[in-house]
Amino acid sequence: MSNLKEAKAKIKSYKKQKYPNTKGVYMSGIPGFKEGNAFYIYLDTDNNELEFINFVEEASLPLDRIKEAASITEQEVEEYEKNRLGSGLVTSALIGPVGGLIVGLSKKKKKKKTYHTFLSIVYEDKAGEENTLVFRTPSASNTSLYFNKFLNSLKPYLPAKEAPGKIEL
């Protein structure tokens, strides 16, 4: 963003246009962005892109480059991990980079029974490589529904998942 006034005006215009949106704390996936910064995430239906914006940084992702989007909670990863041997490396291989990240975070704090929910967006970058954007909820809670409304708005723009073919036994 070139200046704070411009950023505020852009966020205000997105709110006025009532684009589907959510807030998230950036974890990984955008080169040069600082982990831990809070972002507004807008589904800009006029320009067919996701817009990630705060008062310092801004990025956009064309919707046609998104391969998959989902949310997962720390609790879901912890339950999965209890049934497996190994640690974050095994989880990362099995349920992706979000799982490895969550296991690493969950091992650090075991005090409360509140959990963050993570938004994972798998996309193809400009070089054709697959990457994953990860955002977490601004605060821990007991709900896994934080990103669901936003994901439901995003779903029509995602590629259709193919149903598994007939399996012969």
Q: Range of 54's domain?
A: 4-71+114-157
- Residue 18, domain member (yes or no): yes
Let me know the angle formed at the C-alpha of 93 by 91 and 97, rounded to the nearest 5 degrees.
75
- What local confidence, expressed as pLDDT, does residue 100 receive? 60
Task: For residue range 100-158, list pLDDT tens digits in order.
Answer: 665 565 555 555 566 788 899 999 988 999 999 999 988 877 667 788 899 999 999 99
Report yes or no on 39 lying in a domain. Answer: yes
Please state, for a pLDDT cut of 70, what percent of the chain lies above it.
71
Residue 40 lies in a domain: yes
The answer to whether residue 89 scores a pLDDT higher than 70 is no
* Domains identified in the chain, total number: 1
Is residue 107 in a domain? no
Domain with residue 14: its CATH number is 2.30.29.30
Q: Please enumerate, as own/partner, the contacts of 144-148 that have beta carbons within 8 Å and a separation of 24 or more.
A: 144/71, 144/73, 144/75, 144/76, 144/115, 144/117, 145/117, 146/22, 146/71, 146/117, 147/22, 147/24, 147/71, 147/117, 147/119, 148/71
